[in-house]
Each structure stands twice: as C-alpha cells, then as structure tokens.
Chain A
Amino acid sequence: MATSISTHRQLPAELREIQLRTEDYARSYGLDFYETIFEVLDLEELCMFAAYGGFPTRYPHWRFGAEYDELVKTHMYGLQRIYEMVINNDPCYAYLLNTNMMIDQKLVIAHVYGHCDFFKNNAFFSHTNRKMLNQMANHAARISRYIDRIGYEQVEQFIDACLSLEDLIDPHSVQIKRAPDISAMPHAALLRDEDFEYLATEGRFPSKGYMDQFINPPEVLEREAKERKDREVERVKKRSFPEQPQRDVLQFLLQHAPLRDWQHDVLSIIRDEAYYFAPQGQTKIMNEGWASYWHTFLMTRHGMNDSEVIDYADHHSGTVAMTPQRLNPYKVGIELFRNIEERWNNGQFGPEYDNCTDMKEKALWKKDVGLGRQKIFEVRRIHNDITFIDEFLTPEFCAQHKFFSFAYNPSADQYEIASREFDQIKQQLLTSLTNHGRPFIYVVDGNYRNRGELYLQHQYQGVELKQGHTQDTLVNLQKLWARPVHIETVVDDKPTVISYDGHSHQTRIASQS
C-alpha cells in the first residue's frame, strides 16, 4: 500500500524557518525525535484529521463524521480550539491550523517537538507501529473491499458491534506475555485432552535419589496425581475455557467466535488500532506535561519577540488553566515535571531527605546536586501516568495545587468534594487512571453451562456499571458470539449476572460459587 498523504503542502517559508530553528534548539537540549513533517491545514481539514485520530486515511464509518461535526461546531461556537495535532509515526506528522497567530504557531511547533520526543522514547510507545500511517491506509483499503463485496450497511453494523467492545483489550500484554501468540494458534482451537496429560506427571519435588522416597512419598504422589486427574477429567468434561480469566476479550473472540472471514479481519483491524492508541491513553498526563514543559522552556528562552509576550502568556495560561471538576493533564503534567526537576536539582530525594523529620529543614533543603534535567529525561522514558503519579506526587504538591478528591453522592445526585487528605487524593487519582478509569472485564468461560455460552466477569472495585450501556454492549457482543452472553457484575451491592440471549435481557442474582 503506497503512502498517501492527502495534502502534501509545502510549509510557508516563514514557518519553515521557525521550524528549523526550533528543531535545532530542541535537539541542543537533548530532545530526540524522528523526522517531523509539518503541514498547515484550514479548520475543516484539521477537524477532519482530528476526527480520524490524526490520520489522513481511515476506513469509512459514521463515528468519524460525528466527531468531525462536533469538532467543527464547538470550534465555531468558540467552545474549544484545536491548535495542533501530531501523529506517532516515523516520520512524525504534525498539523498546524492556518488561522493561528504566528505566536501560536511558534508555541505549537515547540510543543510538537516535545510530543515527538515522547513518542520515540517513552517505553510504552516502544511496541507501537511506527508505520501506522501506512497501516491505517491498509486497514481502510481492506474494509473498503468488504464494503464493496458485502454492502455498506452490513459492514457498518458489524463495525458498530466491534467498536462496542473496542476497549476490551489488555494494554499491558504487549509488554507482558500472558498468552501464546495469537498467530501461532489455530482459529477457534479448543483445548484438547492431551494438553492436560503432562500435568499428571508434575508434583515431584527435586531430590537426591536416596532421599526421594522420603521427599516424594509414592503413595502421596499417587494420591495427588489421582486428584489432579479427577479434576482435569471434570474440567475436560465441562470443556471450560480459557484456563485463566482472559482480559483481551477481543483476542478471545478472534480465536473462538464463529466469525466469517471478513468479520474476523474487521475485528482484528479494530483490535490492532485499539492497541496502537492504548499508550496515548496511558500517558496523557506525562505526554502533555512533557510537551508543555518544552514549549514553555523553548519559547521563553528563544521563541518570542517583544510584541508576542502578551499573547503568548494569554494562550499558555489558557492551556494550563484549572477547572474545579477536572484535572487538566497539561497543568498537572508540566507542574509535576518541574517539581521533579527542582527536587532533583536540590537533592530533595533519597533516604536522607525522606527520613528527615524537621519540616523546616526539609522545606529549605538545598543541596546543589543538579540532577534535575537528567532525572526528568529518565522519568519520561520509563514511566506511564500511573507510575508517574504513584512515584512523584507529594503531599506538598497536592496542597500547593489545591487538589481534592470528589465522590458521587446518590442522595443529592451530584458530585461533591470528598477530601483534601493526600492519601485519599492519591488513591482516587490512581483509581481514576487505572485502565483509563474503565471497568476491568475478563472472559472467564467460553463454554458456560456446557452450552457454548460466553461468560464475562466485571472485576468490581466499588463502582457499578452503567446499566443501559451494559445491556446494549451485551447485545453487540451477542452478535459476534452468536450464543447467549452473560456478564457477572455487582448491582445494588449484590453480585448479579446480566444476560442476553439474542432476544431479551435477564438479570439474576449470581449464585455464590
């Protein structure tokens, strides 16, 4: 598939000059990125690219149109502005809005180099496809072929169903292998009896020969082997799979759901793209913080002329403005990076500092170790939002930035400030960031009740599922699985199973097992 970029416009000379200058400065401070190609787009083009997740070519689907419609409208009503967009690709592509003031363009270009450095160096992006631009175009071509063959409505409806399940992936599986590679597995493979046999020989402790009958008494071994065998026979009889609860529901469906070839391919496309976008969700605070850190640094030292200072200050403060109801990832990110840099410059870390109980001494702690810059580069390489917050959020930081945790109060049907205690804020923040604040869903049984029904489990952590959404998602899941589907969750503090059999929903209290 040939690379096709729809615009291919030369950057105007004035911007080109700014770009080259900014790039040189960025490299001189140690930023490291793939080649970055800038283009200037008008509002509609920018919104179009944004709707497509940054990519010029995506498969046809109405949700991109919905996104586009909303972006254009909110932009025209002045509710929000997109100034810029970058795609994680080699080369990186970045888009500027043609109506931006020159100072905005400078700011944005500096900001973009922060992102590009982050994409290339942060560990969580290391498994992403750096030729995603081509890959997306390839996906689009494949889906267009199916549309030609099968018909628009049918493919669209199937994509709707797949998107419903889009985030049921295991974003850590690219780093941590939990399951054999999908490509090595035959499609719809069931576990066979012999898979269990090797288990029967296990259970011996290593021992020297003369000690063996004491360490591995034959009668115990025999008894254990029989018990295992019985358990396995029982299990095989039930033909219950997977072995372990499986978080990558999409993979499970690809392996076991009765899909036609084209459906199998469409679902695998949706899954590929979900994995590509996952790291951006895992590192939102860091990525925006890092880019904001660098645009501020580069702009205030090298970027501006006198007449631009006011507009720069105005626009920058707009970017990092706080609102009571929501953490601004730009603000939290940039401040936390600066905080880390300052602490590591002043030696405010390590056992000596941590164990110091004199608050006055701690506040004035200043050892000129100058490790700040080095430290933040390390942080941007190895952390994601969760570990970033877990490791570097301090009580002082929370107090300085007036953080609070809020919670839902059902009697008033509103969210209320719950606490300003550091531990609670941090706990709440980590909870919100875990799995992007989405529920954890696992496949626990693909042959439920020995009837080939699909049984999912929601790992309940105190927050209930949204009812209407859950039921409708089950409807879509059933379209793929073609047999009744179930999810075990908690409703009104009781373990509950919600089912959909293709015709109607049932809700029942889960049997305690």
Chain B
Amino acid sequence: MTRPIDLDTQRFKEIVRGKVRDGLKKYITQGEILGRQGREVVSIPIPNLDIPRFRHGSKGSGGVGQGEGEAGQPVGQGGDQEGGLAQPGDQEGQHIREAELTLDELADMLGSELELPLITPKGDSTLKTKKLRYNSIRQTGPKSLRHFKRTYKRALRRLIATGGYDPLTPVVIPTHEDERFRSSSEVVLPHANAAVIYMMDVSGSMTDDQKQIVRTESFWIDTWLRSQYDGLQRRYIVHDAVAHEVDEDTFYRTRESGGTRISSAYTMAQKIIERDFPPADWNIYCFQFSDGDNWGEDNTLCMQKLQNDLIPVCNLFCYGQVESPYGTGDYLRELKKIVSRFENLILSEIKNREGIYESIKTFLGKGK
C-alpha cells in the first residue's frame, strides 16, 4: 500500500537530489571534501531546503541553560547554525538542513549522476572476514558497554542481602562488583576483495593546483569504489624521480619537487601487488596521475612495465594527465600508441577543475 507520506518523502528526496545534483559539479570541482564526519557520513549543506522565514540571527541573541560553569564559559557554537541553540518552547522546524548522506548514498548519487554502471567484481568471493556480534554478558568491560538494568539489579540484590536497602531513601549505587557488561564474539562473514593503488606525480613541474585536482578526483573515485566493495584496500604512491609508498594522509598533503621517473612508481606498484594483493584473489584498480612530463628515456621502460606487469593483473588501469603550464605532456602520446590493444587501459586528459567531472566519467563509466 502506498501511504501519503511516501509521496511526500519521495518529493522531498527529489528536491534534495535535485539541489545536490545542481550543486554536485560545483562540489566536485571545488574539491570540497564536504565536511566529512567520521568515516561513514558526509554532510552536504543544502541551500534553502529549510523554508525561509523571518528569524533571529546569532547577533545579540542568547538564551537560558542549566548546569555548571562560570560566566564566559562557552556553551555552543554560533555561526547562525540551524538547530544549534533553539529557543526553549520552540519545537518546530529548526532542523539541520544538511543532507546527511552515507558515503554509499553519495556514491549512488554520483553513480546516477555520472551514469556509471555498477562495477562487477571478479575474483574470489570465498575469502572470509571477521565481524563482532554482541550477544553475551561479562563482568568486565568498558563503561560504554555497561548493561544498565543488570547492573542495577545486582546492586539492588546486594543491598537487600546486606540489609543496606532503605525503602524511604531508595538510593542504589552500584559498585564495581555489581557491574555487568555486554560482550562480543566473532562471527565469520564471506567477503569480496578489491584494492586500489593511487599514483601521483609530485615532481617540480606539478603545481599545487594540479595536485589539488588529482586529490579531488582521487577522493571521488575512492568514494565510488568504496561503495562497491566492502573492505576496499587502498595504497598510495607518490613519486618524482623516486617513488615512495605513503599513507592516505601523506598522499593528500605531500609536497615534493625534482625530476620525474614514472617507471619508479610502476615498480613500486608492482611490488605492492606482489606483497599484498595476489591478483588471483583481488580486483585491482590503478589510478595514475601526472602532468605527463616524464624523463625522456624512461618512457620505454614504462611501456614495458605497464604492458607486461601491470595491465595484465589489473581490472582497470587509469591514467589521468593534468594539463601543465610547463612541460610537454608527452607521456599521454606514448600511451595512446598502445591504448587500442588493452580494453582495461583508460586515458583521460584533465584540463582544469571543471575537467574532473568528465574524467571520472571516462575512468569509471565502463564498469570494469
């Protein structure tokens, strides 16, 4: 049965999606990593989804609260946030109108916006992963897992047994011995595997602007792939003349300079694959970004490594060339010579921030 609220909710979602969709290109190109909250949720501020009304702003406003504290102690953020400090007696309407989306939902939107087909995972789905389930009680544990009712029952039982319970002042304070905690055990779940290796050229010819483009694009690609796989593994490589494996944080921050030797990154990627991701068990995706200004003689080695070692084991090998004010951009030309021979090699040119959108579409649109 369709309930009237379903139509209203659907209408609301259309409006949200509409607004987000209008803004989506902007979010991508501005590289806002949208107030990521924790690991799971992104919030996308939606302009004017709340019905505008004549309202008080923060300036000159205040209220009444309860609790400890001295004059001057902060009690909350300003900034005209909705819902932050609603006035007492005022219930309706004041909600945070930021769409809270899980990364999955965001990826879905990205998917339908970019018209990306779902990526079909290959490989071994028989590998197992372990998960915790809370299904028993123990006498020790962290406070956050304390079982309220059982704890108080123990305390009450102890008080009555020791004659310490006074019905006129029924104060029950649990001691350490009374406490009971929820406890977990491991459950084994089946699990499919995918790994992504991001490679970024950080040589002197890559400007900060270009690196930012690479990082923004990586974030969106990451969001999409993570929605497709549980337990996606990621590895990051930065290189100039020498390649380094770095953690996610470093990848998104690092500044380097020097010459460029792309083959060093390939060697590193190959090493990581051999070490962590046997291709028989893993779906492997490689994303490489550079301004294409490679050390001339290195190109031959690159083509060799790519064709012999990397492309054969990857679901997808994507190369994004960010246009550079310096340099020749030669590398893309080299790749174009071989691209027709490999279905899973994808090339894209990223002229500027606005190009990110098309580039993601190029990379992921084939659904490999």
Contact = CB atoms under 8 A, between A and B. Distances in A.
The answer to whether A and B interact is: yes
Interface of A: 48, 51-52, 57-58, 60-66, 68-70, 73, 156, 160, 163-168, 277, 281-282, 284-285, 310-311, 314, 322-329, 331-332, 385, 401-410, 412-420, 425, 428-429, 432-433, 436-439, 441, 458, 462-473, 475-476, 487
Given A284-B88, A405-B62, A414-B78, A469 B53 contact: yes
A466 B80 contact: yes
B148 interface: yes
Contact of A403 (B48, B51, B65, B90): B65
A442 B58 CA distance: 22
B15 interface: yes
B18 to A, nearest CB: 11
Interface string B7-24: 111111101000000000
Contacts of A284: 88-91
B37 interface: no
The binding surface of chain B is classed by DSSP as: loop
A73 B16 CA distance: 16
Interface string B249-287: 000000000000000000000000000000000000000
Given A326-B85, A327-B88, A415-B75, A463 B56 contact: yes
A462 B60 contact: yes
A469 B4 contact: no
A412 B74 contact: yes
Given A425-B64, A464-B60, 18 more contacts: A58-B4, A63-B12, A65-B11, A68-B5, A281-B89, A284-B89, A285-B89, A402-B67, A405-B63, A407-B62, A415-B58, A415-B62, A416-B71, A432-B88, A437-B56, A463-B61, A466-B56, A471-B52
Contacts of A68: 5, 8-9
A65 B9 contact: yes
Contact of A458 (B54, B75, B156): B54
B66 A418 contact: no
A396 to B, nearest CB: 15
Contacts of A403: 64-66
B15, B62, B68, B156: residue with the most chain A Cβ atoms closer than 10 Å? B62
A429 B54 CA distance: 21
Contacts of B88: 284-285, 326-327, 329, 332, 429, 432-433, 437
14 contacts: A60-B7, A65-B5, A65-B8, A65-B13, A69-B12, A284-B89, A332-B88, A407-B62, A418-B62, A432-B62, A432-B64, A432-B87, A436-B90, A464-B56
A116 B19 CA distance: 42
B55 interface: yes
A69 B13 contact: yes
A125 to B, nearest CB: 15
Contacts of A414: 74-78
B102 to A, nearest CB: 10
B69 interface: yes
Contacts, number: 245
A65 B7 CA distance: 8
A410 B78 contact: yes
B3 to A, nearest CB: 6
Contacts of A310: 148-149, 152-153, 156
Interface in B80-138: 80, 85-92, 95, 100
A332 B5 CA distance: 34
B49 interface: yes
Contacts of A458: 54
A62 B11 contact: yes
A282 B92 CA distance: 12
A324 B156 CA distance: 31
A163 B80 CA distance: 21
A266 to B, nearest CB: 15
A420 B95 CA distance: 29
A388 to B, nearest CB: 11
A332 B89 CA distance: 11
B59 interface: yes
Contacts of B86: 326
A244 to B, nearest CB: 20
A69 B96 CA distance: 13
A429 B55 contact: no
Contacts of B13: 65, 69
B52 A465 contact: no
A500 B68 CA distance: 46
Nearest to B14: A62
B165 to A, nearest CB: 12
A467 B57 CA distance: 8
Interface string B170-183: 00000000000000
A64 B8 CA distance: 6
Contacts of A475: 52
Contacts of B58: 408, 410, 413, 415
A480 to B, nearest CB: 14
B79 interface: yes
Contacts of A329: 88-89
B5 A64 contact: yes
A428 B15 contact: no
Given A65-B9, A410-B78, A417 B72 contact: yes
Contacts of A311: 149
B149 A413 contact: no
A163 B51 contact: yes
A437 B87 CA distance: 6
B57 A464 contact: yes
B308 interface: no
A324 B11 contact: no
A417 B71 contact: yes
A322 B78 contact: no
Contact of B54 (A322, A439, A462): A439
**Smallest CB-CB A-B distances: 10 pairs:** A437-B87, A65-B8, A472-B52, A65-B9, A65-B12, A407-B62, A466-B57, A324-B67, A62-B12, A62-B11
A73 B105 CA distance: 14
B89 A437 contact: yes
Contacts of B62: 405-408, 415, 418, 428, 432
B166 interface: no
A419 B95 CA distance: 28
Contacts of A65: 5, 7-13
B60 A463 contact: yes
A463 B62 CA distance: 9
B67 A322 contact: yes
